[in-house]
Amino acid sequence: MRVLLVEDEKDLAGIIKQGLEEHGYSVDMAHDGEEGLYMAENYPVDVIVLDIMLPIMSGLDILKTIRSNDINTPVIMLTAKDTVRDKIGGLDIGADDYLTKPFDFDELLARIRALLRRGGDIKESVIRIADMEIDTARHEVHREGKHLSLSAKEYALLEYLAYNKGHVVSRFDITEHIYNEEFDLDSNVVDVYINFLRKKVDKDFEQKLIHTVRGAGYILKGE
Q: For the chain, what percent of residues have pLDDT higher than 90?
A: 50
Q: How confident is the model at residue 175 (pLDDT cuts 50, 70, 90)?
A: confident
Residue 121 scores a pLDDT above 50: no
CA distance 140 to 133: 8
CA distance 55 to 97: 22
pLDDT of residue 181: 52
Give the SS3 label for residue 142.
strand
pLDDT of residue 160: 87
State the Cα–Cα distance between residues 23 and 111, nearest whole angstrom: 14
Instruction: Specify the range with the lowest mean pLDDT, choosing from 42-56, 123-137, 206-220.
Output: 123-137
62-114 residue pLDDT tens:
999 999 998 989 999 998 866 667 677 777 888 889 898 889 999 999 999 88
- SS3 for 68-128 is HCCCCCCEEEEECCCCHHHHHHHHHCCCCEEEECCCCHHHHHHHHHHHHHHHCCCCCCEEE
CATH number of 126-220: 1.10.10.10
Q: Where are the domains of the chain?
A: 2-119, 126-220
Looking at residue 163, its pLDDT comes to: 84
At 122 the pLDDT is 44
What one-character DSSP code corresponds to residue 145?
T
pLDDT class for 12, splitting at 50, 70, 90? very high
As a whole number of angstroms, the distance between CA 122 and CA 127 comes to: 9
> CATH says 2-119 is which class?
alpha beta
Q: What is d(CA 180, CA 43) in angstroms, rounded to the nearest whole number?
A: 10
Q: pTM, whole model, 2 decimals?
A: 0.64
Average pLDDT, the chain: 86
Least confident of 77-86, 117-126, 209-218: 117-126
